[in-house]
Chains A and B, each alone.
Chain A
Amino acid sequence: MKFDEPRFAPGGDQYLQVSFGDDATLELNFLALGLASATRESELPGIVDTNPGYNSLLVEYDADAISFPDLERELRALADGLGPSDDLELQSRLLYLPVMYLDPWTRACVDDYREKIAEREYDPDFVAQVNGLEDVQQLVRTHSGTEHWAVTIGSIPGLPLLRPLDPRCAIYSPKYNPARTWTPQGAIGVGGPSTSIYTVASPGGYNIIGRTPVLVFDPSGRYSVFNEGGVLLRPADRVKFVPIGLEEFAYIERRMQDGTYEYNFVGYDTFSVSAYNTWVATLDHEGRF
């Protein structure tokens, strides 16, 4: 539910958290990202950093430049100035990201978990089943049938938290318990209402349904498309997963290795929340691909 007024809470002596509501709707994230952008543009003194969550924004500040009450008042004014989320236009690039769904590497990872940690179904079967999909092929159609919205970036450097924009492609999946001890780099995971891309090989709790040969975190500086810190995506970017087969995976992997891969970004449009909402209202939300 969206709160009538944004709520403010301290995080120690250097942080202030602004919350717009208590669920995970895209509307709340649009507001959080809108406030992040408005805060940056305001050039308020003492703002050190902004860190968006699903429905909140954590603002880091320098108390020698702005007091907590003053910051709260300024942020309240900026939040009011956003107006309804329908008025928001957010800078949003679209990335086409090749993915081999149902790939051998995540399958081997699940097999290893089954052998060493706990019995469980093969992740794509499990996710298809809990979402009432016919089979894993429909899971692939569903997951690749929409643009995904970058809700925020982080946890570890460069890790994107993504959410499908088309309600017909919404999936929900319980996370691993206990967590996996390792996950291959590039694995595509789904957990709760979100999707993520494992930037590096790491432990994890999302169900893994595919793998991309393309790096989304690369601090080496080989590719100019990355920002200075080696992070590919920004909050409010969109990702379209493009299904590929084994041969294409191997080809792209080679081009990544020799540094000749062309990242496929589209950067000519902004994301209009009202246009999006108008489109969503025309859809049959129970529909599936």
Chain B
Amino acid sequence: MIDVIEPGLETAVQDYPGRKGQVGLGFPPSGPIDHWSFRLANLLVENPPNAAGLEIAFTGPTLRFGEDAAIALTGSDMQATLDGQPVSVWESVAVRAGQALAMSYSLQGGRAYLAVAGGIDAPLFLGSRSTCVLASVGGWEGGPLEPGQTLPVGAERGGDAGRRVRVEARPTLPRDKTWSIDCVRGPNDDWIDDVAHARWFGEGWMISSRSNRIGFRLEGPDWTFTPKARDKGPENGDDPSNIIDHGYPVGGVNLSGQTPIILMNDGLSLGGFINPYTIPHSEFWKLGQSMPGDTYQFREVTVGEAQERRRAIDALCKPDAIES
């Protein structure tokens, strides 16, 4: 069992790949944004890939462990200590019953991931333990952690201390807060004119502080449109960015008026705005590790290139990423 002493800014139970196959009923997948770091945390404590862990945003929690356990932290370094002693990121660590793990603000990156051997034993909802903030279901009691909660840990506990992720299998965070993000055109790229496409791929886009797991809002130059966006039936809506309600891909760059919003893991499943571009799955670790105020530079890739990049990350999330 794990007692939540302080929950941190936004700490929630997630599993990978989350709640798949339910978007037809309006359920987003949820799950960890930086799925690369999340998967490595499970590998460090020898959990199965679908074991649930914690996603920890910006400022971490204080947690007390009820039993001896192997744990691992990956992703952002939030200056974790165990009874006052520093805890390394990217390594499995032994925790004894009664010890408290205290985390602070992130030194680099946006989100840390905590895996505990056995996994967080939250109830399954539609096949997943991930937290769905849009409907207050899944995860632990349907939302981010709160003080005083007690999280059960699964019984199947392997995992030794002292296992490390090989350096070459870890994501590398940029030092200058500028991120190169692969981006695929479509499905609605023909609503945007060439000038706006050139701005999207040519200029930097800043992540707004009004960003969350539902959507990342971006600030940048103005948008201009093709005639298709203006000469359309009234059922589309009044704004050039309005379209007749359609399904939204996770990663869709959803243009709401003049504001592009990347549809994140807890995003809306459909709506009446265009998606001129889609950010592929391979790039989500970068989204998860970026902070408001950081800058994205978008780089056009094909569907095939995006799929190759995702396969390359999947190949790193295997047991041979770990050394003891």
Binding site for B on A (CB under 8 A): 9-15, 17, 22-24, 36, 48-58, 60, 63-64, 68, 151-159, 161, 172, 174-175, 192-194, 200, 217, 219, 227-231, 234-235
Asked, given contacts A10-B303, A15-B249, whether A156 binds B26 with beta carbons under 8 Å apart, the answer is yes
> In this complex, which of A11, A151, A158, A172 has the most chain B Cβ atoms within 10 angstroms of its Cβ?
A11
Across the interface, which residues of A come within 8 angstroms of B185, CB to CB?
Answer: 10
Asked, given contacts A217-B135, A227-B25, whether A17 binds B247 with beta carbons under 8 Å apart, the answer is yes
Q: Mark B229-273, 1 if CB is under 8 A from A, else 0.
A: 000111101100000111111111000000000000000111110
Which of A10, A36, A227 meets B187, CB within 8 Å? A10
Q: Mark B11-22, 1 if CB is under 8 A from A, else 0.
A: 000000000111
Check if A17 sits within 8 Å of B246, measured CB to CB. Answer: yes
| Distance, CA A12 to CA B250, complexed state (A) | 9
Q: Which residue of A lies closest to B19 (CB)?
A: A229
Check if A229 sits within 8 Å of B252, measured CB to CB. Answer: no
- Shortest Cβ-Cβ A-B pairs, 3 listed: A58-B247, A12-B278, A53-B246
Across the interface, which residues of B come within 8 angstroms of A9, CB to CB?
Answer: 186-189
Check if B20 sits within 8 Å of A49, measured CB to CB. Answer: yes
Across the interface, which residues of A come within 8 angstroms of B303, CB to CB?
Answer: 10, 12-13, 68
Q: Which residue of B lies closest to A199 (CB)?
A: B135
Binding site for A on B (CB under 8 A): 20-27, 125-126, 132, 134-135, 137, 184-189, 232-235, 237-238, 244-252, 268-272, 275, 278-282, 303-304, 306-307, 310-311
Min C-beta distance of A9 to chain B, whole Å: 4
A to B contact number (C-beta, < 8 Å): 166
Check if A156 sits within 8 Å of B135, measured CB to CB. Answer: yes
Asked, given contacts A14-B249, A192-B237, A229-B125, whether A153 binds B310 with beta carbons under 8 Å apart, the answer is no
Across the interface, which residues of A come within 8 angstroms of B186, CB to CB?
Answer: 9-11, 17
Asked, given contacts A55-B244, A63-B307, A152-B245, whether A12 binds B281 with beta carbons under 8 Å apart, the answer is yes
Which of B234, B247, B268 meets A56, CB within 8 Å? B247
Across the interface, which residues of A come within 8 angstroms of B244, CB to CB?
Answer: 22-24, 53-55
Check if A219 sits within 8 Å of B125, measured CB to CB. Answer: yes
Check if A50 sits within 8 Å of B25, measured CB to CB. Answer: no
| Distance, CA A49 to CA B247, complexed state (A) | 11
| Distance, CA A172 to CA B307, complexed state (A) | 42
Interface of A is mostly: loop
Check if A24 sits within 8 Å of B24, measured CB to CB. Answer: no
Asked, given contacts A51-B24, A192-B235, whether A157 binds B135 with beta carbons under 8 Å apart, the answer is yes
Which of A12, A23, A48, A161 meets B306, CB within 8 Å? A12
Across the interface, which residues of B come within 8 angstroms of A230, CB to CB?
Answer: 135, 137
| Distance, CA A13 to CA B22, complexed state (A) | 19
Check if A17 sits within 8 Å of B187, measured CB to CB. Answer: yes
| Distance, CA A54 to CA B272, complexed state (A) | 10
| Distance, CA A157 to CA B186, complexed state (A) | 25
Check if B247 sits within 8 Å of A219, measured CB to CB. Answer: no
Asked, given contacts A15-B278, A229-B125, whether A54 binds B25 with beta carbons under 8 Å apart, the answer is no
Across the interface, which residues of A come within 8 angstroms of B247, CB to CB?
Answer: 17, 51-53, 56-58, 152, 154
| Distance, CA A153 to CA B269, complexed state (A) | 9
Across the interface, which residues of A come within 8 angstroms of B249, CB to CB?
Answer: 11-12, 14-15, 17, 58, 60
Across the interface, which residues of B come within 8 angstroms of A152, CB to CB?
Answer: 245, 247, 270
Q: Which residue of A lies closest to B277 (CB)?
A: A12
Check if B304 sits within 8 Å of A68, measured CB to CB. Answer: yes
Known A-B contacts: A10-B303, A11-B249, A155-B270. Give 18 more (CB < 8 A).
Answer: A9-B186, A10-B278, A12-B280, A13-B306, A14-B281, A17-B249, A23-B235, A54-B244, A60-B249, A63-B310, A152-B245, A153-B26, A154-B25, A156-B26, A194-B245, A219-B135, A229-B27, A231-B25
Min C-beta distance of A262 to chain B, whole Å: 23
What are some 11 contacts across the A-B interface (CB < 8 A)? A14-B281, A48-B21, A49-B20, A56-B246, A58-B248, A60-B23, A152-B270, A154-B25, A155-B26, A157-B137, A158-B26
